[in-house]
A and B are shown apart, each in its own frame.
Chain A
Amino acid sequence: QQQVKQSPQSLIVQKGGISIINCAYENTAFDYFPWYQQFPGKGPALLIAIRPDVSEKKEGRFTISFNKSAKQFSLHIMDSQPGDSATYFCAARITDSWGKFQFGAGTQVVVTP
């Protein structure tokens, strides 16, 4: 069963627009929440990550918002560019698990020119 639920499944946004991807988790102790970016034919690569004691983290055009009480976190891509077209995965690390992660199902983002 998927303990990290990600939405939407796909997203089309115009160049310059904002892409928002949401993830929610259930009932399991997680202590680290990364987002991965994957281009076609490639492996996922870490984009940005947050710990649960922080409510927001920003790196360039990418921002994670974290709501611990609601067990939700989201990725915002500001000023979206065609080069951002990729699949994005949220993930959550199980506490005391030697690095075991639960991944969301992924969101395919297409940025139109």
Chain B
Amino acid sequence: NAGVTQTPKFQVLKTGQSMTLQCAQDMNHNSMYWYRQDPGMGLRLIYYSASEGTTDKGEVPNGYNVSRLNKREFSLRLESAAPSQTSVYFCASSDLSETQYFGPGTRLLVL
């Protein structure tokens, strides 16, 4: 039981490059989330998926797209990376018990 896994752990991009952050959970949770964490800003919701087949915008969705591939997997795509997207990205999942389970994070540096 791995919980929530994220790949890659660390990535360096040049401005304008694209990439996809992968997330998978093995807890059979319906809801999945993508957050970004910046110093002094806490965790800010980028996108979330309440259930398979649905996605919705969070607080800071601009510059990102998501895909809920199936119940297990929820990916985050940066189409054209910008330095402002340098951050630590966390994926999380939850069930109706309200607890969010977070992955280990992806550290992204955009030059």
Contacts and interface: CB of A to CB of B under 8 A. Distances in A.
Asked whether A and B interact, the reply is yes
Given A44-B90, A98-B50, A103 B99 contact: no
Contacts of A43: 4, 90, 92, 102-105
B40 A101 contact: no
A9 B40 contact: yes
A29 interface: no
A101 B44 CA distance: 9
Contacts, number: 60
Contact of B100 (A2, A42, A101, A104): A101
Nearest to A44: B102
A34 B100 CA distance: 10
A99 B44 contact: no
A110 B101 CA distance: 24
A43 B48 CA distance: 17
Interface residues of B, number: 24
Given A32-B98, A43-B4, A101 B45 contact: yes
A55 B48 CA distance: 30
Interface in B18-61: 31, 33, 35, 40-45, 48, 50, 58
A46 interface: yes
B42 A105 contact: yes
B86 interface: no
Contacts of A34: 98-100
A9 B50 CA distance: 32
Contacts of B42: 2, 4, 6, 89, 103-106
A23 to B, nearest CB: 11
Interface of B: 4, 31, 33, 35, 40-45, 48, 50, 58, 90, 92, 94, 98-105
17 contacts: A2-B41, A42-B104, A43-B4, A43-B90, A43-B102, A44-B43, A44-B100, A45-B102, A93-B98, A99-B31, A99-B48, A99-B50, A100-B45, A101-B100, A103-B42, A103-B43, A105-B42
